[in-house]
Amino acid sequence: ASARESVGLQLKLHYTLRGGVVLLAGEFEMSSVDPVVGPGGATIHRVKAQGIVPVTPGTPALLTSANDLTSHRRYEVNVTAQKLM
């Protein structure tokens, strides 16, 4: 039997309204599998971040950014708060 592991992008976010600003708090996790399989099996690379970001409605804000060590790509997570009716 082989072990299974979830890989990809996971966001857990909560928001609070403070006047005209949305405070977005949460956790970001990105994981990927190294395609080179060694004697111990595949290697999983994981990046985690957490924090609070103030977001002005209608204006994009950077939540977090990360470099994927496997694909050598840079990922950015941007958010925009939009007031709904």
Do 7 and 44 form a contact (C-beta atoms < 8 A)?
Answer: yes
Average pLDDT score over the chain: 84
Give the pLDDT confidence of 18-57 residue by residue, as tens digits.
Answer: 988 999 999 999 888 877 766 777 778 888 889 999 999 9
Q: Which of 27, 24, 25 is nearest to 10 (CA)?
A: 27
- pLDDT in the model for residue 37: 67
- pLDDT in the model for residue 32: 80
* Of residues 7 and 39, more confidently modeled: 7
Q: What is the pTM of this model?
A: 0.69
- pLDDT in the model for residue 41: 73
